[in-house]
Amino acid sequence: MKWFKGRFKYAFSGLRYAICDKSIALQMLFGLLVILFGLLLSFTIQEWFWILLCIVLVVVGEIINSCIEQLVDYISLEHTKQAKQIKDMAAGAVFLLSLFSVFIGFAILIQKII
């Protein structure tokens, strides 16, 4: 049981580190704003599912992106082409998640407005 509790301790510690990262905190702020809009517009259960899925995907993507950036910097402080490509691809993955989320958000909002 102690081993199991330790896993939660490490997970919450990681989330505390994540919240302190500016990029992750910004994504969480955007997510909070979307949740507030959802409360104002009375989203259905299906709409909440998609909105919350998008928020979680973007925040998790940003956490992974930040981990990759820190890992690359930890391995080598040299600015190499390979390090740049690794960081750029991780950022590109977050960008795709964000685009998907914007598409889902607009699809839901358009239905509410019309």
CATH number (domain holding residue 4): 1.10.287.3610
Number of structural domains the chain divides into = 1
Return binding residues for ATP. 10, 69, 87-88
47 assigned to active site: no
pLDDT tens by residue, the chain, 114 residues: 777 777 788 899 999 999 999 999 999 999 999 999 999 999 999 999 999 999 999 999 999 999 999 999 999 888 899 999 999 999 999 999 999 999 999 999 888 887
Spatial distance between the Cα atoms of 40 and 108, rounded to a whole number of angstroms:
13
Return binding residues. 10, 62, 69, 87-88
Structural domain for 66, as ranges: 1-113
Of 18, 43, 62, 105, catalytic: 62
Contacts of 23 (CB under 8 A, 6+ apart): 62, 65, 66
